[in-house]
């Protein structure tokens, strides 16, 4: 009986051996793929769009007066003197920007500022000519405007830029005579002129977008209006009192805000 049982086990083992060998030769199936969730997008601010806003600050100018050709009294090129008009300013700006891939931004803008900058200095030539004291020269800057292009680089919501373009301003000039007792001791105007003059400007600034539609900025601008000739006449007459070359440069610091709109203020990057 034992011999029959052993023979049965041996035959079963021999029969199962090929199947076991086949199982051992077959590679294990690969594990099921693991599903990964895409990371959330990172939103980067885009400066592409347009804006309108307001600003305020201050201006500091330098006015050099010299004798121009045609003056009835003095040698051309002689100096009347110089003074430094200054005042606060307030105004508005409007413009558009376009941002390229990589962060570079270009734009164009126009601005207009109201001012009341006044500077006065003693008139060296008229005081000497009339052998008296009390003659003075005065410049007044009433407004300032510019149209500029700008180029900059943006780090998300912060934009650093430089700008440059054309500039215009409205000026008034007066020469005051010495006070006379018969006029109550007050100085009186003996010559007056006004002009709108053109020049150029360059500047640098930074802007930060606190909201997709709202940004603030601060900038410094340098203006150069060259030298312009003005004929000062006695008020209410055509009588020429002096012909003056006025040379001007100006520094402006201002800060402001912009309301922005445009196609897609925010883009997503993964």
Residue 52 included in any domain: yes
Domain that holds residue 91: 42-164+174-263
Predicted local confidence at residue 266, as pLDDT: 65
The C-alpha atoms of residue 73 and residue 93 are separated, in whole angstroms, by 44
Residue 73 included in any domain: yes
pLDDT at 23 over 60: no
- CA dihedral (50, 54, 58, 63) positive or negative: positive
Predicted local confidence at residue 220, as pLDDT: 98
Residue 270 included in any domain: no
pLDDT tens per residue, range 108-150: 999 999 999 999 999 999 999 988 888 999 999 999 999 999 9
- What's 125's domain CATH number? 2.40.160.20
Residue 5 included in any domain: no
Q: What average pLDDT does this structure show over 212-231?
A: 97
The C-alpha atoms of residue 55 and residue 93 are separated, in whole angstroms, by 8
Predicted local confidence at residue 227, as pLDDT: 97
Terminal C-alpha separation, the chain: 78
Query: Which backbone phi and psi does 250 adopt, to 5 degrees?
Result: -150, 145
Higher pLDDT, 6 or 260: 260
Residue 120 included in any domain: yes
Predicted local confidence at residue 179, as pLDDT: 77
| Percent of all residues in the chain with a pLDDT value above 70, rounded to a whole number | 81
The C-alpha atoms of residue 244 and residue 266 are separated, in whole angstroms, by 54
Residue 15 included in any domain: no
Predicted local confidence at residue 118, as pLDDT: 97
The number of domains in the chain is: 1
pLDDT tens per residue, range 151-202: 999 999 999 999 999 999 999 999 999 876 555 667 789 999 999 999 999 9
Q: What average pLDDT does this structure show over 2-18?
A: 49
User: What distances in angstroms separate CA 105 from CA 100, 151, 157, 201, one per listed residue?
Assistant: 6, 6, 12, 20
Residue 17 included in any domain: no
- The percent helix, strand, coil of the chain (3-state, each to 5) is 10, 65, 25
The C-alpha atoms of residue 98 and residue 83 are separated, in whole angstroms, by 41
Query: Which backbone phi and psi does 127 adopt, to 5 degrees?
Result: -60, -40
| Percent of all residues in the chain with a pLDDT value above 90, rounded to a whole number | 72
pLDDT tens per residue, range 52-99: 999 999 999 999 999 999 999 999 999 999 999 999 999 999 999 999
């Amino acid at each position: 009986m034992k011999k029959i049982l052993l023979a049965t086990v041996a035959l079963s083992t021999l029969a199962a051996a090929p199947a076991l060998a086949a199982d051992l030769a077959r590679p294990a199936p690969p594990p099921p793929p693991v599903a990964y969730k895409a990371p959330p997008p990172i939103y980067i601010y885009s400066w592409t769009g347009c804006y309108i806003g307001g600003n305020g600050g201050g201006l500091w100018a330098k006015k050099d007066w010299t004798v121009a050709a045609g003056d009835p009294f003095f040698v051309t090129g002689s100096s009347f003197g110089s003074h430094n008009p200054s005042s606060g300013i307030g105004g508005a700006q409007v413009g558009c920007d376009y941002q390229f891939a990589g962060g570079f931004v270009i734009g164009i803008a126009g601005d207009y500022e109201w001012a009341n900058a006044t500077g006065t200095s003693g008139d060296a030539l008229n005081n000497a000519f009339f052998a008296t004291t009390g003659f003075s020269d005065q410049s007044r800057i009433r407004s300032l405007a510019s149209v500029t292009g700008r180029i900059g680089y943006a780090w998300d919501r912060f934009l650093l830029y430089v700008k440059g373009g054309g500039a215009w301003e409205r000026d008034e000039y007066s020469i005051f005579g010495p006070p006379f007792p018969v006029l109550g001791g007050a100085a009186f105007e003996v010559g007056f002129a006004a002009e709108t003059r053109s020049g150029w400007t360059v500047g640098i600034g930074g802007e930060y977008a606190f909201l997709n539609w709202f940004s603030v900025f601060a900038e410094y601008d340098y203006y150069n209006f060259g030298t312009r000739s003005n004929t000062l006449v006695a008020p209410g007459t055509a009588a020429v009192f002096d012909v003056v070359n006025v040379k001007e440069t100006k520094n402006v610091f201002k800060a402001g805000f912009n309301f922005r709109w445009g196609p897609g203020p925010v883009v997503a990057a993964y």
